[in-house]
Amino acid sequence: MQQVLAIFLRKVLVILLVGFISLSSFAVSSQPSFAATSTMQEMDSQSQSVSDREQAYEEQLKAEKNMDKVFEENAKEYRKENPEENIIEKAVEGVEKLADKVTGKN
């Protein structure tokens, strides 16, 4: 009886070890794909031309002068992409409407 139990435990141990090795090799083999993705992103960012960088710099200088306008444009884009309103935005709109009523800016 003990010999049968020992043989059974050895077979179970072998099956578990084979399963562990196969799972660990799968995890190790997927890691180089992550490295290739980050390398490609770095290459794309490095290949940006100087004129593109200068244009982006000029846009940022203009945006710095009109921060409120840029904020409003970004907020509109966000609302278009995320049409569901959260409770904070509803509360802010309610307060703005109430403030307009109180100050007479209807």
Question: What's the pLDDT score for residue 39?
Answer: 58
Question: Is the confidence at residue 96, as pLDDT, over 60?
Answer: yes
pLDDT, greater one: 81 or 11:
11
* Residues 12-57 pLDDT 10s: 888 988 887 877 766 655 555 555 555 556 656 666 677 788 888 8
Name the pTM for this structure. 0.29
- Provide the percentage of residues in the chain whose pLDDT is more than 90: 0
Both 72 and 100 in a single domain?
yes
Q: Residue 31 belongs to what domain range?
A: 1-47
Both 35 and 63 in one domain: the answer is no
Do 42 and 62 belong together in one domain? no
DSSP string, the chain: -HHHHHHHHHHHHHHHHHHHHHHHHHHHHHHHHHHHHHHHHHHHHHT--HHHHHHHHHHHHHHHHTHHHHHHHHHHHHHHH--SPPHHHHHHHHHHHHHHHHHT--
